[in-house]
Amino acid sequence: MRGRRREQAVGDLVSAALKGLGVPPTRVGAPLEQAFERAVDPAWRGQVRLERLQAGVLDVGVTSAALKDELTQFHGARLLAVLREAVPSVPLTRVRFLAAGPKATS
Residue 106: the pLDDT is 46
Would you say residue 5 lies in a domain? no
Tens of pLDDT, residue by residue over 7-65, are 665 555 555 665 565 555 556 688 999 999 999 999 998 999 999 998 899 999 999 99
Q: Considering its fold, how many domains does the chain have in total?
A: 1
Residue 70: the pLDDT is 96
Rounded to whole angstroms, the Cα distance separating 104 from 49 reads 5
Would you say residue 11 lies in a domain? no
CB–CB of 71/48 below 8 Å? yes
Q: What is the CATH number of the domain that holds 40?
A: 3.30.300.180
Which range marks the domain in which residue 70 is found?
25-99
